[in-house]
Structure 1
Amino acid sequence: MDLTTSAGTGDTSLKKVITTRQFVLMALSSSIGAGVLLATYSSLAVGGAASLLISFIVVGFAVWITMCALGELSAAFPVSGSFYGYSVRFISPAWGFAMGWNYVINFLFIVVFELVVMLLCARYWEPDLPAYYVIPGFISGLVLVNAFGAKWYAEAENAFAVCKMMVLSAFVIVAALIVNKSIPADTRPADEVGITLWQQNAFKHGPIGFLYVFMTAGMAYGGTEMLGLTAAECERPHKVMPLACKIVPLRIIWLYLVPIFMIGMVLKVSLDDTVQSGGISPLVAAMDQANLPILANVFNGIIIVAIFSMASASVFASSRALQALSSKGMGPRLFAKIRWGHPIWALALVFTVSLLSFIKISKDGDLVFNWLLALASGSNYFTWISICVCHVRLRLAIRKKGIEERDILKWKSPPGIGGSMIAIVIFLFGLSAQIIAAAQSPLPNPPHILASFLGIIVVFVFWAGYMVLGKGVLLIPLDQIDLQAKAAERIDNGEESI
């Protein structure tokens, strides 16, 4: 197993066809999916409105810091597959190898997850709708969106972004009208909506409820760093990532925090067996409780489109991550090849894995599905921690070598090295919350505690495997970190071994 061989012959270069306009709209809402549109339903029942909002504020703040760190890294060293490429460069090849495969596996199974969630949402209209009627159509749609390359993928994502912004904005407006008692169809007493309802359900199940919701917030923000991959196919990658760092706070406030606050004002959820069944969005449930069935149906339809968008983004992320890994000699050479402007073999693998969504048909489908998802459970936190550690080590390496920061950094992260350290602490807390919440889960049918460890186990298996087979170093000394941008380009093009 040669972990240090470059991809060899063949075209391994992706075309830079995504425009700044496309990138901006993708930065606003490209990775918003089932995490915020569906998982917040059970989170509200388990943790309460205040726990839900606080956890999203804390994790959102840390995610913004991480995007700033990634922006600084990508402005100085623009490379394809940037975040795990930076792990190779600033931490160690072994850790970069583990992070790359961690990311690929995570998004491979997110494609499966989003397909199943779309099926569950469709069953809002027809509870007995067979999976084999729906899933093949969704997979065909994903193939079609990704068949025309990055440019048309970006155009599709722009259309999906508008849909997501519209449904979340419309929900906030309707929720405000409900709170103001301006919806005649909603006959609930004044104390069952608004701030009174929010206060009554502010904190549920104590610290365990908060930890559970904190874990959900980490899952909901997953994919924000996907912009680092998208930038590799953007016309001006060194400019768009710093721009994304300025857009992300607007996205977090407008499309996460405000809707989540309003959900707690208009939706009452009890913790029972139905909470774990999935398939209903808190936005749709709130319209049902307000006796607005037409809006509930419209919202459900747009939410299916939004989740399809996240599935499409996951196809893009997993295929590009796999191609970038393989082009650096960290995966099979076959997946490094580009045909007709596409990472064709990487896409083939993604769509083959997507067929696992049919496990919902089997008798034990839910059990198998939960264990598969557990493989990706800790991926987001590991990815974000690695980005922040790379940022910290970049700054320390500059100081160690006595170089002026302005000679290396083309754009500096506003939170700086201190911000990245704060984010690392928050993400480590998120990883701990995942395990503690699983052990003490208040859910009626909690998953096996081992499931919460699977994502962590996978990361360290890949890391240890590289350390043993690739004879890797534990940590690159600061004075040996290469700070030359051209070296990053050579590595990115497969001209140097990892």
Structure 2
Amino acid sequence: MGSGDPTPATDASLQKVITTRQFTFMAFSSSIGAGVLLATYSSLAVGGPASLLISFAVVGFAVWITMCALGELTAAFPVTGSFYEYSVRFISPAWGFSMGWNYVINFLLIVAFELVVMVLCVQYWVPDMRPEYLLPAFIAGLILVNAFGAKWYAELENFFAICKMVVLTSFVIVAIVILSKAVPSDGRSADELGIHLWQRGAFKNGPVGFLYVFMAAGMAYGGTEMLGLTAAECERPEKVMPRACKIVPIRIVWLYLLPILMVGFVLSVPLDPGVITGGISPFVAAMDQAGLHVVGTVFNGIIILSIFSMASASVFASSRALQAISARGMAPAFFAKVKWGHPIWALVLVYIFSLLAFIKAASNGDKIFEWLLALAAGSNYFTWISICVCHIRLRLAIRKKGLDEQEILKWKSPVGIAGSMIAIVVFIFGLAAQIVAGAQSPLPAPPHILSSVLGIIIVFGFWAGYTLVRRHDTYWIPLDQINLQPKEWTGRSGGSSDIESARVEMVDTSTH
């Protein structure tokens, strides 16, 4: 083993105060935000209801596989920092460095993205409302929510989770009522609803429309893996992650696929997707078309709460991720400082980045929506691919060393490494689809092609930078050098040599 007194891989300064009950509610809907509540409208207009449903089903299935892989990893090796520490351990220090910064940057920008979307939702009621009047209040709300620590953050997330479950379930019920022609205010005939809407444009804009929708799917499921971070502050991380793996498929069908199926049955989208404003949810638009304006207003209010929840979750994720990579020597050490149970300087940086939302007040500020959507989708696909690769290499390392899986794995993914391989193929397709759709977007004012590849540039930029600076590190850790002893692999809080220490310990373990 490497020299020095080992410390627990989890950081004791981040208190384990999140209960199993809180974690369970968070597993149901904590990361549902603008990706499904708003971005699905333009995707429905561009790709059609069949493209939207199929893409969400395929990506959702792959995300469930990824959560199973993460659950297996977390149960066997519970660590603060979760999946990118697994990248350091099972792939290479350089790739772990890249994945850590990829995740931090992603959620730093997602905070601004969700703030912009909240402004757009308020403008559904008051079109002339200036963003600079609303954003300070929203940012103050985020500061307040996160000021009381992980326990109260989780408690509020439970409330927000219930709101999301209520609004999406209610929409499915109201949509069924609309389809049954039991809404007096809806003057549409039966030929203008249900399967007839699908027959008129199930797959709009052909293959390009289908590929475009994958960007929204990649964004919508983003944050599901955040449960791996949350588990580090949970009372029993080795128990809650396997539970989350069982909840996620229920969540995907109930809160993603059913509402998306029903909105395709009751919402007639305009032929020109360019007339769709970024601030109206397809669920609210469906209520308006049925003449249920009061219901639409209530839905819009709950959707704003739901998006605020995702912004709050992004503050939590980005600050904890930054604290974790800083404690491992991947970022300036002062970001690792924890005071009063908070990663205080990491939070400060997050709130500074939230000010990017004020770009919405500038000329052409609405374009930030498409840019951040594309960046977040690409970042998510890389995160999920890395989790699956770590899972595959864990299993292969166990076999390579001739060890018994039962002695190492506390819980096993039901789909094994074959499932992770399938998920990787789906995510690579999603990345490729994003680039193709960005180059040949059917939107009248498509985002710049750079937005589609920016996430890829960021990931490989950090990887190349680390590789050039630390050339003596292993680019790809051999299977027989992967340390499979969870109590002996440690990250010391705050030293610049933490990644190197981890690498040395991996090599030392392989010689035992």
Task: Give TM class, smaller chain.
Answer: over 0.9
CA shift at 1:13, angstroms?
A: 2.5
| Gapped regions of structure 1 (runs ≥ 5) | 1-5
- 1:56 is aligned to 56
Instruction: Write the deviation string for residues 68-113 of structure 1: whole angstroms up to 9, x where unpaired.
Output: 0000000000001100000000000000000000000000000000
Instruction: Write the deviation string for residues 9-63 of structure 1: whole angstroms up to 9, x where unpaired.
Output: xx87210000000000000000000000001100110000111000011000000
CA shift at 1:473, angstroms?
A: 2.0
Instruction: Write the deviation string for residues 238-272 of structure 1: whole angstroms up to 9, x where unpaired.
Output: 00000000000000000000000000000011242
Q: 2: distance between equivalents of 1:379 and 1:421?
A: 19
CA shift at 1:362, angstroms?
A: 1.4
Q: Secondary structure at the match of 2:498?
A: coil
CA shift at 1:367, angstroms?
A: 4.3
Instruction: After superposing the two structures, state which structure 1 stretch, 265-274 or 108-117, moved more.
Output: 265-274
- 2:326 is aligned to 326
Q: 2: distance between equivalents of 1:95 and 1:136?
A: 37
Report matched runs for 1:335-346 at 5 Å: 335-346=335-346
Contact 2:42 2:273 in 1 (8 A): no
CA shift at 1:400, angstroms?
A: 0.3
Contact 2:215 2:377 in 1 (8 A): no
Q: Which amino acid aligns with 1:345?
A: W
Instruction: After superposing the two structures, state which structure 1 stretch, 337-346 or 266-275, moved more.
Output: 266-275
Taking structure 2 as the reference length, the TM-score comes to 0.93
- 1:470 is aligned to 470
Contact 2:197 2:264 in 1 (8 A): yes
Q: Which amino acid aligns with 2:237?
A: P
Contact 2:222 2:380 in 1 (8 A): yes
Q: 1: distance between equivalents of 2:345 and 2:280?
A: 35
Report matched runs for 1:37-436 at 5 Å: 37-272=37-272, 274-275=274-275, 277-367=277-367, 370-371=370-371, 374-436=374-436
Q: 1: distance between equivalents of 2:208 and 2:440?
A: 7
Instruction: Write the deviation string for residues 290-309 of structure 1: whole angstroms up to 9, x where unpaired.
Output: 00010010000000000000
1:482 equivalent in alignment to 2:480: no
Q: 2: distance between equivalents of 1:162 and 1:171?
A: 14
Q: Secondary structure at the match of 1:241?
A: helix
Q: 1: distance between equivalents of 2:322 and 2:12?
A: 12
- 1:3 is aligned to none
Q: Secondary structure at the match of 1:378?
A: helix
Contact 1:73 1:391 in 2 (8 A): yes
Contact 1:172 1:262 in 2 (8 A): yes
Q: Identity, % of aligned pairs?
A: 73
Q: Which amino acid aligns with 1:79?
A: V
| Gapped regions of structure 2 (runs ≥ 5) | 1-5, 500-512
Contact 1:13 1:493 in 2 (8 A): no
Q: 2: distance between equivalents of 1:78 and 1:346?
A: 22
- Specify whether residues 423 and 123 from structure 1 end up closer, same or farther in structure 2 by C-alpha distance, changes over 3 A only: same
Q: 1: distance between equivalents of 2:364 and 2:283?
A: 29
Instruction: After superposing the two structures, state which structure 1 stretch, 448-457 or 194-203, moved more.
Output: 194-203
Taking structure 1 as the reference length, the TM-score comes to 0.96
- Specify whether residues 292 and 226 from structure 1 end up closer, same or farther in structure 2 by C-alpha distance, changes over 3 A only: same
Instruction: Write the deviation string for residues 408-427 of structure 1: whole angstroms up to 9, x where unpaired.
Output: 10000000010000000000
Q: 2: distance between equivalents of 1:374 and 1:63?
A: 18
Contact 1:45 1:275 in 2 (8 A): no
Contact 1:81 1:320 in 2 (8 A): yes
CA shift at 1:277, angstroms?
A: 2.9
Q: 1: distance between equivalents of 2:288 and 2:245?
A: 37
- Specify whether residues 158 and 183 from structure 1 end up closer, same or farther in structure 2 by C-alpha distance, changes over 3 A only: same
Q: 1: distance between equivalents of 2:259 and 2:39?
A: 13
Q: CA RMSD in A?
A: 1.6
Contact 2:218 2:378 in 1 (8 A): no
CA shift at 1:217, angstroms?
A: 0.7
Contact 2:85 2:96 in 1 (8 A): yes
- Specify whether residues 470 and 276 from structure 1 end up closer, same or farther in structure 2 by C-alpha distance, changes over 3 A only: farther
- 2:503 is aligned to none
Q: 2: distance between equivalents of 1:491 and 1:22?
A: 27
Q: Which amino acid aligns with 2:151?
A: K
Instruction: Write the deviation string for residues 375-395 of structure 1: whole angstroms up to 9, x where unpaired.
Output: 444100000000000000000
Q: Which amino acid aligns with 1:241?
A: M
CA shift at 1:219, angstroms?
A: 1.0
Contact 2:164 2:303 in 1 (8 A): yes
CA shift at 1:474, angstroms?
A: 1.5
1:26 equivalent in alignment to 2:61: no
CA shift at 1:201, angstroms?
A: 2.3
Q: Secondary structure at the match of 2:445?
A: coil
Equivalences, count: 489
